[in-house]
Amino acid sequence: MPRPPLSDELEALIVEPNPAVIATLRGDGSPHTAATWYDWENGRVLVNMDESRRRLAYLGNDPRVALTVLSSGDWYKHVSLIGRVISLDDDTDLADIDRLAIRYTGRTYPERDRRRVSAWIEIDSWHAWAQSPPVARRGSRWAS
């Protein structure tokens, strides 16, 4: 798999507030996935979690993660970033969750009474797909 930096095309994809799914590892090594908001800054990814999220506990035990960002206009265009959490920090003033909420909704995060934790992810490698959907051909499973 390629190592950072990302191409200009992929960087353009991930700087936008596109849908994303994060994968963490449970204690038994099996994957856990969840939709998530993210932001990209200086080659790293920011995610933020409520203190009750299972993935927060998983990250405390194993910092390895993958984040797949899907183009909101064409989900066949996507990039998966593989890396590890390099810091887990309390978001005491809710600045990070507000940053993400404004990015995705245009407003600050409405719930102000729960502890939140921010994670910065350093990227080790990536892979991407940026082609059109499969074309239906006679006799193929895509043909109707």
Model confidence pLDDT, tens digit, residues 38-76: 999 999 999 999 999 999 999 999 999 999 999 998 888
Spatial CA neighbour of 86 closest among 53, 42, 129, 127: 42
Residue with more model confidence, 49 or 1: 49
d(Cα 47, Cα 65) in Å, to the nearest integer?
11
Per-residue pLDDT tens for 12-45?
999 999 999 999 999 999 999 999 999 999 999 9
Q: What is the pLDDT of residue 58?
A: 97
Q: What is the pLDDT of residue 144?
A: 37
Longest dimension (CA), the chain: 58
Give the CATH fold of the 8-130 domain: Pnp Oxidase; Chain A (2.30.110)
Contact 98, 108 (CB under 8 A): yes
Burial of 62 (0-12, 13-18, 19+ CB in 10 A): middle
Contact 35, 69 (CB under 8 A): no
User: What are the residue ranges spanned by the domains of the chain?
Assistant: 8-130
Question: Given the structure tokens 């960002």, which residue do they identify?
Answer: 69
Residue 123 CB contacts under 8 Å (≥ 6 apart), including other chains: 4, 43, 44, 45, 81, 82, 83
Indicate whether this model's pTM tops 0.85: yes
Per-residue pLDDT tens for 74-120?
888 999 999 999 999 999 999 999 999 999 999 999 999 999 999 99
d(Cα 135, Cα 50) in Å, to the nearest integer?
42
Say whether pLDDT at 10 is over 80: yes
